[in-house]
């Protein structure tokens, strides 16, 4: 078990934690969950200047497409303009995931698609 200052994810996240301190907690939690608990591959962080936070991108084990996860904290209020900026900052992907994190380290993910999507089955 690692302490906060010796955690292995610090290397990848330190730059963004220093640059965007307000959203550093949710980025840290979402990054660890995606990399270690959900076991995605090719996990990288992306700087989203428009939203003043870092985002996580990677591939789920069953797919080959890169997917983006934008972290946010439960206490934040999001507006439609914020969501539009998220899509714009990530260069208009078909869908993004929103990772909402709480203080107790629970995370819920929401999938947001640009436009109407028919249910799969």
Partner 1 sequence: MPSGRNRGQFKGGGKRNENNRIYSNPLPVLFHDVSPRPVRSLLSFVGLSLAKIESPECEGLFDPVTRSVWVINPQDSTILWRRGFFGKGDLSRSEPSWLARQKSQRKSTHLTSEEVRERRRLERKQFKLDRAQAIAAVAAEAEAIFAAEGRVITPALSGPSIPSAATWKPTRVPEEQPNTEAPIAPEPVAEDEDELEDLEHLQLTLSEAFFLIWNFDCLTVWDSVTHELMSVESLWNTFQQVHLQPPIPDAPLQPLQLDNPFLINYMAYQHYRALGWVVRGGLKFCVDYLLYKRGPVFAHAEFALVICPVYEDPADQKSSRTNLQNATPFSWTWLSTINRVNTQVQKTLVLVYVTIPSKSRVPVDALHTPAVLSYFSVREVVVRRFIPSRMRD
64 binds partner 1 (CB under 8 A): no
Strands annotated E in 1-121: 41-48, 53-59, 67-73, 95-101, 107-113
User: What is the closest distance, in whole angstroms, from the C-beta atom of residue 92 to partner 1 in the complex?
Assistant: 29
14 binds partner 1 (CB under 8 A): no
Q: Which of residues 32-51 bind partner 1 (CB under 8 A)?
A: 32-33, 36-37
The DSSP code sequence of 19-43 is H-GGGHHHHHHHHHIIIIIS--EEE
78 binds partner 1 (CB under 8 A): no
Size of the site for partner 1 (CB under 8 A): 29
Strand partners, 70: 98
Sign of the Cα pseudo-torsion (53, 58, 60, 66, in order): positive
Contacting positions for partner 1 (CB under 8 A): 1-5, 8, 17, 21-22, 24-25, 28-29, 32-33, 36-37, 74-75, 77, 100, 102-108, 121
């Amino acid at each position: 078990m690692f302490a906060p200052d010796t955690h292995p994810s610090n290397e990848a996240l330190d730059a963004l934690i220093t640059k965007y301190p307000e959203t550093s907690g949710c980025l840290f939690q979402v990054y660890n969950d995606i990399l270690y608990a959900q076991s995605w591959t090719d996990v990288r962080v992306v700087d989203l200047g428009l939203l003043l936070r870092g985002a996580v991108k990677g591939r789920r084990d069953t797919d080959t497409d890169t997917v983006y996860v934008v972290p946010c904290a439960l206490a934040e209020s999001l507006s439609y303009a914020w969501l539009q900026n998220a899509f714009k900052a990530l260069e208009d992907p078909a869908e993004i995931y929103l990772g909402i994190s709480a203080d107790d380290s629970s995370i819920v993910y929401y999938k947001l698609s640009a436009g109407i999507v028919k249910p799969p089955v």
